[in-house]
Amino acid sequence: MWQNHFSQLFSVCVVSDLRQTEIHTAKPLVTQQSAFEFEMAIEKLKRHQSLGTDQIPAEVIKVGGRTIYSEIRKLIISVWNKEKLLEEWKE
Protein backbone atom coordinates (compact mmCIF):
# COMPACT_ATOMS: atom_id res chain seq x y z
CA MET A 1 0.00 0.00 0.00
CA TRP A 2 2.64 2.56 1.04
CA GLN A 3 4.87 1.52 -1.82
CA ASN A 4 2.09 2.27 -4.31
CA HIS A 5 1.29 5.54 -2.56
CA PHE A 6 4.85 6.81 -2.73
CA SER A 7 5.34 5.46 -6.23
CA GLN A 8 2.41 7.56 -7.39
CA LEU A 9 3.52 10.51 -5.30
CA PHE A 10 6.99 10.53 -6.82
CA SER A 11 5.82 9.38 -10.27
CA VAL A 12 7.85 6.18 -10.33
CA CYS A 13 6.70 2.72 -11.29
CA VAL A 14 5.85 0.13 -8.66
CA VAL A 15 8.82 -2.03 -7.82
CA SER A 16 8.28 -5.58 -6.68
CA ASP A 17 11.92 -6.38 -5.92
CA LEU A 18 14.05 -3.59 -4.46
CA ARG A 19 17.27 -5.48 -5.14
CA GLN A 20 16.76 -5.08 -8.89
CA THR A 21 16.06 -1.37 -8.64
CA GLU A 22 18.69 1.18 -9.58
CA ILE A 23 19.33 3.62 -6.79
CA HIS A 24 20.36 7.12 -7.78
CA THR A 25 21.90 9.55 -5.36
CA ALA A 26 20.82 13.15 -5.35
CA LYS A 27 23.14 15.84 -6.60
CA PRO A 28 24.24 18.45 -4.06
CA LEU A 29 21.76 21.28 -3.73
CA VAL A 30 24.53 23.84 -3.23
CA THR A 31 27.24 24.14 -5.84
CA GLN A 32 30.70 25.53 -5.31
CA GLN A 33 31.03 29.24 -5.69
CA SER A 34 32.73 30.53 -8.79
CA ALA A 35 35.85 32.67 -8.46
CA PHE A 36 33.75 35.72 -9.34
CA GLU A 37 31.16 34.98 -6.63
CA PHE A 38 33.93 34.49 -4.12
CA GLU A 39 35.57 37.80 -5.06
CA MET A 40 32.23 39.58 -4.74
CA ALA A 41 31.76 38.13 -1.24
CA ILE A 42 35.21 39.40 -0.21
CA GLU A 43 34.44 42.83 -1.65
CA LYS A 44 31.36 42.98 0.59
CA LEU A 45 33.46 42.54 3.76
CA LYS A 46 33.04 45.57 5.98
CA ARG A 47 36.06 47.63 6.95
CA HIS A 48 36.92 48.59 10.52
CA GLN A 49 35.15 45.60 12.06
CA SER A 50 36.36 43.84 15.20
CA LEU A 51 38.90 41.15 14.45
CA GLY A 52 37.85 37.53 14.57
CA THR A 53 39.81 34.71 16.16
CA ASP A 54 42.19 34.71 13.18
CA GLN A 55 43.14 38.34 13.93
CA ILE A 56 43.16 39.18 10.20
CA PRO A 57 41.46 42.50 9.38
CA ALA A 58 39.10 42.54 6.40
CA GLU A 59 41.22 45.37 4.93
CA VAL A 60 44.22 43.03 4.61
CA ILE A 61 42.17 40.43 2.76
CA LYS A 62 40.63 43.05 0.48
CA VAL A 63 43.93 44.63 -0.56
CA GLY A 64 45.54 41.21 -1.05
CA GLY A 65 44.04 41.01 -4.51
CA ARG A 66 43.55 37.94 -6.65
CA THR A 67 46.44 36.04 -5.07
CA ILE A 68 44.90 36.16 -1.61
CA TYR A 69 41.40 35.59 -3.00
CA SER A 70 42.61 32.51 -4.86
CA GLU A 71 44.41 31.01 -1.87
CA ILE A 72 41.49 31.55 0.48
CA ARG A 73 39.12 30.07 -2.11
CA LYS A 74 41.36 26.97 -2.46
CA LEU A 75 41.28 26.54 1.30
CA ILE A 76 37.50 26.89 1.48
CA ILE A 77 36.97 24.45 -1.43
CA SER A 78 39.30 21.94 0.21
CA VAL A 79 37.27 22.08 3.43
CA TRP A 80 34.02 21.87 1.39
CA ASN A 81 35.19 18.76 -0.49
CA LYS A 82 36.44 17.00 2.65
CA GLU A 83 33.17 17.87 4.42
CA LYS A 84 35.08 18.37 7.64
CA LEU A 85 35.49 21.68 9.42
CA LEU A 86 38.73 22.48 11.20
CA GLU A 87 38.33 22.70 14.99
CA GLU A 88 39.66 26.28 15.00
CA TRP A 89 36.94 27.33 12.55
CA LYS A 90 34.19 26.19 14.89
CA GLU A 91 34.86 29.10 17.25
Query: Residue 66: its pLDDT value, please?
Result: 83
Higher pLDDT, 19 or 72: 72
DSSP the chain: -HHHHHHHHTT----S-GGGS---PPPPSSPPPPHHHHHHHHHTPPTTPPP-TT---HHHHHHTHHHHHHHHHHHHHHHHHHT---GGGG-
Convert the pLDDT of each residue in 8-62 to its tens digit.
Answer: 767 655 555 555 556 666 666 666 778 888 888 888 888 888 787 778 888 888 8
Query: Residue 36: its pLDDT value, please?
Result: 85
